[in-house]
Homo-oligomer: A and B are copies of this chain.
Amino acid sequence: MPATVPNAKNRQILLMNRPKGEPSESDFKLVEAPVPAPSDGEVLVQALYLSLDPYMRGRMSDRASYAKPVELGEVMTGGVVGRVIASQNAKFHEGDIVEGILGWQTYAISEGKGLRKIDPTLAPISTAIGVLGMPGLTAYFALLDLGKPKAGETVVVSAASGAVGGIVGQIAKLKGCRTVGTVGSQAKADYCKTELGFDACVNYRASKNLAADLSGACPDGVDVYFDNVGGSVTDNVFPLLNFRARIIICGQISQYNLEKPELGPRLLWHLVRARARVEGFLVLDYAERYKEGLGELARWVKEGEIKYREDITSGIENAPRKLIGLLKGENFGKALIKVAD
């Protein structure tokens, strides 16, 4: 069967090494391959946006996790928004905008499983890997299902200006909570307060006394802690936990690049003191309820109740560099790579 896009090449980024500590660009390799053609039941998708997310660091490692690592020499994994340019699958048609885990490549074949059709009239299509995709759903289900925030309670979220954190803070605000963020720069702190409506935001990098700054930002203690970061931020939130506090562990980005595990203060006693609960969250467990979550999120976005910020870089060749930056907190908002118009 002839290639569907005869004049184009498929530009792919392969994982070449399992990094120890911080990844480097040399752990990846950009290669060109022919654009594949869809067989019976398959569709060919041209990538428009790639999503960059903290979980990707885990896929580069062969440590035990909730998902298998990317094999060396394979295309790096990741969420993609793209356009169907050829279809041998009755459920998809040329021109459809779709979202799925298609990896870091400009063209991808899919059997349609896990591929979601996007309505481009609803919101900009890039939101399908942001506020109206996994990050939004993560914020929605983790905060509401595990955090169960009640009006008047204090909700703290780490990485508050990030793709998940920003939405967590705004949903908490919608639920009538005092909303406190932690971020890594003054610009992010200002953004959380002025744009996203956080009541307070602590720049942990600038803080000279994180315990005091967090305690000052949470005069009534902490009822819900939504943790994307771990490490010293989390160490300093635990002593503030109120009776029956709920802690959601969504990510621990401060730990992902460590060459060897970091030691920290033991935190479990705080759970007895406060009879608090800590729970780990993974959005994939909520697949059956995505429709519910997306419906709510879309309504909030449409009504201007939830804002989002994108950090867009053009060119697939920049994906490794931007992911490396994201793992150090250099992005400001949802990190995306724009691959084609």
Q: Once the chains bind, are B249 and A272 in contact (CB under 8 Å)?
A: yes
Segment from A255-263, A287-295, A312-320, A325-333 that makes contact with B: A255-263
- Additional A-B contacts beyond A231-B266, A251-B272, A277-B280 (15; CB < 8 A): A64-B273, A66-B275, A230-B269, A234-B268, A249-B272, A250-B272, A252-B269, A261-B265, A263-B263, A270-B280, A271-B280, A272-B281, A275-B280, A275-B285, A277-B277
Give the distance in Å from the alpha carbon of A272 to the alpha carbon of B261 in the complex: 16
Give the distance in Å from the alpha carbon of A231 to the alpha carbon of B263 in the complex: 12
Q: Which residues of B contact A265 (CB under 8 A)?
A: 261, 263-264
Q: Once the chains bind, are B269 and A279 in contact (CB under 8 Å)?
A: no
Q: Is A211 an interface residue (CB 8 A)?
A: no
Give the distance in Å from the alpha carbon of A251 to the alpha carbon of B266 in the complex: 13
Q: How far is the CB of A20 from chain B (nearest CB, A)?
A: 17
Q: How many residues of A contact B (CB 8 A)?
A: 36
Q: Once the chains bind, are B285 and A280 in contact (CB under 8 Å)?
A: no
Q: Once the chains bind, are B269 and A276 in contact (CB under 8 Å)?
A: no
Give the distance in Å from the alpha carbon of A255 to the alpha carbon of B267 in the complex: 11
In the complex this chain forms, how many copies of it are found?
Answer: 2
Q: Once the chains bind, are A273 and B65 in contact (CB under 8 Å)?
A: yes
Q: How far is the CB of A56 from chain B (nearest CB, A)?
A: 15
Give the distance in Å from the alpha carbon of A281 to the alpha carbon of B264 in the complex: 23
Q: Once the chains bind, are B255 and A261 in contact (CB under 8 Å)?
A: no
Q: Is A274 an interface residue (CB 8 A)?
A: yes
Give the distance in Å from the alpha carbon of A285 to the alpha carbon of B234 in the complex: 26
The residue of chain B having its C-beta at the shortest distance from the C-beta of A279 within the complex is B277
Q: Is A278 an interface residue (CB 8 A)?
A: yes
Q: Once the chains bind, are B273 and A281 in contact (CB under 8 Å)?
A: no
The residue of chain B having its C-beta at the shortest distance from the C-beta of A239 within the complex is B64
Give the distance in Å from the alpha carbon of A274 to the alpha carbon of B270 in the complex: 21
Q: Is A282 an interface residue (CB 8 A)?
A: yes
Q: Once the chains bind, are B281 and A275 in contact (CB under 8 Å)?
A: yes
Q: Once the chains bind, are A278 and B281 in contact (CB under 8 Å)?
A: no
Q: Is A99 an interface residue (CB 8 A)?
A: no
Q: Which residues of B contact A252 (CB under 8 A)?
A: 266, 268-269, 272
The residue of chain B having its C-beta at the shortest distance from the C-beta of A230 within the complex is B268
The residue that A264 contacts in the complex, of B66, B264, B275, with Cβ under 8 A, is B264
The residue that A275 contacts in the complex, of B266, B270, B272, B279, with Cβ under 8 A, is B279
Give the distance in Å from the alpha carbon of A280 to the alpha carbon of B278 in the complex: 9
